[in-house]
Amino acid sequence: MDSIAYLGPEGTFTHQATRTLSKPADSLTPLPKATDVVQGVEQGKYAGGVIAFENSLEGVVSSSLDEILQSTSRSLIAGEHILSVSFCLFRTPGDEAPLRGVSSHPFGLAQCSDFIAAKDLETRETSSTAEACRELSVEPKTGWGAIGPRIAGELYELDLIEPTLENESGPETRFVLLRTSCPPASGQDRSAFVFRPRQDEPGSLVRLLQEFAARDINLTAIKSRPTHEELGDYFFYIECEGHLTDPLIRSAVVALTQFPGEVRFVGSFPEDPARPRRETPRPSNEAAYDEMVSKIQV
C-alpha cells in the first residue's frame, strides 16, 4: 500500500483523477497546495502525488511545471490521466421541492450558465465544487442543489439529478502522477526531458530538436519557462513519444548530452489509453544501416 498525496479537498476533479492513477489499496491524502504535493514526493513523505498539469483551454499549468523544474531533483512523471471536466446537478435525498437555486465554485457556475439561465435559478458561490456538495449534505436547504463533479456527489451521498450540465463539451484536464522512479516500458509511452542551454546562441534549440527529428521521434510538447535567475535564461521542457529504454530514445538522449548545457530526465510513463493512437510506422535506422552493410563483400 502506498500513500498518495493530491491537491485537495476530497471530491474534486483532482481527487477523481487520483483514484484512477492509484491502486485500490493506496492511502489517499488531500493537501492544500500543489507545491505541498510536489515537495511531499520530493522529500519522501509520500510514495506518489497527483497534480493538474495541463488543460485544453489554457495549456500547461505553469505553476506546476515550474515547481517540478525548479524545486525538485528526484521527482519524475510516472503516469498521466486525462479527465473531461463535466458537472452534475445534485440534491439532498428526499428533497422534491421545485429547484430554485444552486451553489458551486464560480467556475462551475460559469460553465453551467445556460442551464442556470434556462431554469431561472438563484446562485451562490462556494470555495470549491466539492465544498458546495459538502455544504448541501451537512446543511440541507429545501429547493437548492449543488453543481459539482460526480465524485463529490457520491462522496457526500447526494442524489444525482442531471449529469453533464456544462454549456458545451467540457474542457479536458491532464493530471500527472509524480514518483521518484518510473514504470518499465508499456509499448505506448511518453518521455519528458528538460534542457537548459549553457549560453544563449543562434540555433541552440534547433540543434536540440534535430536530434529527435533525425530519428523520427515525435515531439508532443515543447514548453519554455524562465529559470527565474537572469532575463532571457530559459528551461526547455520537451515531451516525446517513446520510453527512455527504447533504442531510438536512448540514441537521442546520448546525443543530447554532448550539447553544452544541462539535460535532465523528467520521466517515462504510459500514455493515457484515452489518447488517440498514432499509427504512423517509424523506420528503423539500424535496419537501414544493416541493409547497407549486407552489400559489402566479406
175 shares a domain with 38: yes
Q: Above 90 in pLDDT, residue 41? A: yes
Selected residue with higher pLDDT from 268 and 60: 268
286 shares a domain with 191: yes
| Chain Cα centroid distance, residue 173 | 6
Asked if residue 298 belongs to a domain, the reply is no
Please state the rounded mean pLDDT for residues 238-262.
92
Number of domains in the chain: 3
Domain of residue 11: give its range.
1-84+171-181
Residue that terminates a domain, selected from 121, 146, 181: 181
pLDDT, tens digit (0-9, with 9 covering 90-100), for 77-91:
999 999 988 899 999
74 shares a domain with 7: yes
CATH number at residue 92: 3.40.190.10
pTM of the entire predicted model: 0.81
Cα 72 from Cα 68, distance rounded (Å): 5
Cα 37 from Cα 41, distance rounded (Å): 7
CATH number at residue 197: 3.30.70.260
pLDDT at 200: 64
CA dihedral 289, 295, 296, 298 (to 10 degrees): 120
93 shares a domain with 54: no
176 shares a domain with 40: yes
Asked if residue 34 belongs to a domain, the reply is yes
Residue linked to cell 530526465: 265
176 shares a domain with 74: yes
pLDDT, tens digit (0-9, with 9 covering 90-100), for 135-152:
999 999 999 999 999 999
Asked if residue 96 belongs to a domain, the reply is yes
pLDDT, tens digit (0-9, with 9 covering 90-100), for 274-293:
876 665 455 556 677 777 87
Q: Above 90 in pLDDT, residue 196? A: no
